[in-house]
Amino acid sequence: METFITVRVAINGFGRIGRCFYRALLEDKGSDIDAAVINSTSPPRTLAHLLKYDSNYGTLPINVGWDSEGITCAGKEIPCLSETNSSRIDWGKFEIDAVLESTGQGLQREELKTIITNGAQTVLVSAPSEEADITLIPGCNLESYDPIHHKIISMGSCTTNCLALSLKVLDDNFRVTRGFATTVHSYTSDQRLLDGSHEDLRRARAAGQSLIPTRTGASQTIGKVLPRLKGKITCSAIRAPTSTVSLLDLVVECGRDVSRNDVNNAYERASTESLNGILAISNEPLVSIDYKKDPHSAIIDGLSTGTNGSMVRVLAWYDNEWAYATRLIDTFKRIERPALMPQVRSQKSSEDDQTAPASLSRRSRRAVR
């Protein structure tokens, strides 16, 4: 009989991805993942407000409260730390199994290793990382996970997830030889609302007023999850004045001539079989806003599929926030299960209880109205 163990996850960085991850957890009924601790430089009052009210996904229909030591959400108490250097946090004190590294700061390997040293078993980085032991993309290579050797894990970017899945289907069926990919990507917090200083002079321009060509590291990451395509796909990005939902424009050359129906049928099969719940295909004449909060990493726009001999062009939609947060949950479920099954969590001693943070339920708490 299989034993289910609650996985205690700490969210290190409660920005767009950290909050979307928590919101997605709330909707993942029956999940055995427990968001146990939040570390953020913002005060609990701000964290509670931004969790409750979201410009992309609306107002949470549950009670959210806060006090000086943490927040509550639907009655659940979550301690909030404000440590700028996460390597100084004693994760073992909070019985943390895994840490979601979502600060976007690009931590170095020694900093990530310190998280393991300080009590966590696994670190999942919500960004491309050269410092990780492995890059995992749900639907592509989760079976490569080794709990003994893979302690620091990257899940690439939202664009990498969409691109990898779109490519995998084409490569499995038609043998991709080379290609170009451009993501028309919603603006992010790494751009300026008004013209201002930025290392990337194009990102220095007002995000809501222009289409902004910029860089993406997706082509480097693809080779890590689809080794046969390493060095064969070139990627670029254009930032668009929308707040979420992006569009991948992928053009590849295949090993043989293919038809439009061949391509769409391959995606149809994948969407109902090996990539069910991760990739989808739509033949409706929809636009980006229609895919807001869609949990699929890639939704192929079947009406836009085109072929010319061995050349194939596909468009794939993806909610660059929500779908990515949903895949983080999927990855935690996969990587933590084998890591935790051999263990039996010991009961805390009365001495531990005395030294642990005071129960939030005994403190005065304010509600976010």
In the predicted structure, residue 126 carries a pLDDT above the cut 90: yes
Interval 31-75: pLDDT, tens:
889 999 999 999 999 999 999 999 999 999 999 999 999 999 989
Give the C-alpha separation, 271 to 278, whole Å.
7
pLDDT of 369 reads 56
Interval 273-297: pLDDT, tens:
999 999 999 999 999 999 999 999 9
Cα–Cα separations (whole angstroms), residue 43 to 74, 85, 164, 206, 322: 19, 16, 37, 28, 24
Is residue 339 within 8 Å of residue 122, measured between CB atoms? Answer: yes
The secondary element (H helix, E strand) that includes residue 238 is strand 233-240
In the predicted structure, residue 339 carries a pLDDT above the cut 90: no
CATH architecture of 158-320: 2-Layer Sandwich (3.30)
What are phi and psi for residue 249, nearest 5 degrees?
-110, 110
Amino acid at 246: S
Catalytic residues, by residue number, are 158
**pTM of the full structure:** 0.91
pLDDT of 217 reads 83
Interval 291-337: pLDDT, tens:
999 999 999 999 999 999 999 999 999 999 999 999 999 999 988 76
**Which 3 state secondary structure label does DSSP give 213?**
strand
pLDDT of 361 reads 36
Ranges of each domain in the chain: 7-157+323-367, 158-320
What's the gap between Cα 220 and its chain centre?
18
Interval 189-235: pLDDT, tens:
999 999 999 999 999 999 999 999 999 989 899 999 999 999 999 99
Q: Quote the mean pLDDT of the chain.
A: 91
Quick check: do 7-157+323-367 and 158-320 share a fold?
A: no
- Among the four given CATH numbers 3.40.50.720, 3.40.50.740, 3.30.230.70, 3.40.140.10, the one describing domain 7-157+323-367: 3.40.50.720
Residue 206 DSSP class: B
Cα–Cα separations (whole angstroms), residue 113 to 92, 118, 149, 190, 254: 14, 9, 13, 26, 41
The fraction of the chain above a pLDDT of 70, given in percent, is 90
